[in-house]
Amino acid sequence: MKKLDGNTAIVTGAGQGIGKSIASALCKNGARVVLASRNLENLKITASELNSDSLIVQTDVSDEDSVKNLVETVKKEMGSVDILVNNSGVAGPTKPCEDITLEEWEECFSVNMTGMFLVSKYVIPLMKQKRYGRIINVSSMSGKRPLPNRTPYTSSKTAVIGFTRTLAFELGEYGITVNSICPGATAGPRIDSVIQNMSESFQITFDEAKKTFTDPSALKTLVTPEDHAALCVFLASEDAVRMTGQDINLTGGLIWY
Ligand SMILES: NC(=O)c1ccc[n+]([C@@H]2O[C@H](COP(=O)([O-])OP(=O)(O)OC[C@H]3O[C@@H](n4cnc5c(N)ncnc54)[C@H](O)[C@@H]3O)[C@@H](O)[C@H]2O)c1
């Protein structure tokens, strides 16, 4: 018997990076996984690598009709949803606040926060019906500490923590837990491009920019998508039944006050 046998999970942004690792770990632990993201080709690759029962639904989380279609399709094909991992996110611009356009600001919030709201809004009624659910929202350590020239990203990730805490209180009586994970800088192409943008924005080398992420941590390292996936399996499982409203750091030991 696997930890998540009998569970159906939706993972947004499952075509690459952290979302792909989370989908794979949920699947290995017995869950049937719904892979939702904008990029269909990447979703197909993820599905073929899972080697297991999964459903692909191409979805733009910032578009309400697209999200409604996701949840309707899941209802029809899978019956219900036990686990929702709101992972989709964009990095937003790297610029001083006064140079950021309203369009750039809104684009970042529309995916990182509004997208999370929309998917939760349409999944919650299904979880309430079952009086069971696990919602895991991917925030960031940058939702808790300053990251100069990244105001849209940091603000959207702080908003995720407020959303999580309030939702945990709205849904506790229905047996639904809601937690955020706060990854530190995570190895992969996305962090490479963030580091590259930083090095250009601050006119420092790539290695100097990278050190600003690794040096402040206890382990002096980036973390990995697999670290976050293991944490998600725990939060989705029976082991975490009394854990809700939390924002859990997974940062290689980077701490701040
Ligand atoms: N990589 C890091 O260092 C790091 C650190 C902290 C937090 N995070 C967060 O972790 C999550 C995953 O990050 P990642 O590193 O895997 O990034 P990534 O860019 O590799 O993946 C992001 C995923 O989100 C999807 N996505 C983007 N816009 C979407 C939309 N409108 N609708 C549906 N899907 C959309 C993309 O298609 C992609 O699959 C993000 O929320 C990110 O902010 C990442």
pLDDT single digits (tens) 190-225: 899 989 988 998 899 999 999 998 999 999 999 999
CA 90 to CA 92: how far, in whole Å?
6
Name the residue ranges covered by the structural domains of the chain.
8-184+224-250
* Whether 180 contacts 139, CB under 8 Å: yes
In the prediction, which pLDDT does 7 show?
Answer: 97
In the prediction, which pLDDT does 64 show?
Answer: 98
| Cβ within 8 Å of residue 152, ≥6 positions away | 92, 93, 100, 104, 105, 108, 109
Quick one: angle between helices 17-28 and 225-236, nearest 10?
50
- Ligand 1 atom closest to the Cα of residue 112 is 41
Active site residue 153: yes
Domain 8-184+224-250 - what CATH class?
Answer: alpha beta
Query: How far is the centre of ligand 1, averaged over its atoms, from the C-alpha of 22 (Å)?
Result: 12
Q: pLDDT, tens digit, for every residue of 60-77?
A: 999 999 999 999 999 999
In the prediction, which pLDDT does 194 show?
Answer: 85
Catalytic residue among 132, 153, 174, 257: 153
Q: pLDDT, tens digit, for every residue of 106-150?
A: 999 999 999 999 999 999 999 999 999 999 999 999 999 999 999
pLDDT at position 101 over 90: yes
Protein residue with its CA nearest to atom 31 in ligand 1: 60
Helix (H) and strand (E) counts in the chain? 9, 7
| Cβ within 8 Å of residue 75, ≥6 positions away | 126
Annotate 72-92 with b (16+ C-beta within 10 A) or e (fewer).
ebbeeebeebbbbbbbbbbbb
Mean pLDDT of the chain: 96
66 close to ligand 1 (CB < 6 Angstrom): no
pLDDT at position 257 over 70: no
From 44, 56, 64, 90, give the residue whose CB has the most ligand 1 atoms within 8 Å, as the site to mutate. 90
In the prediction, which pLDDT does 255 show?
Answer: 84
235 close to ligand 1 (CB < 6 Angstrom): no
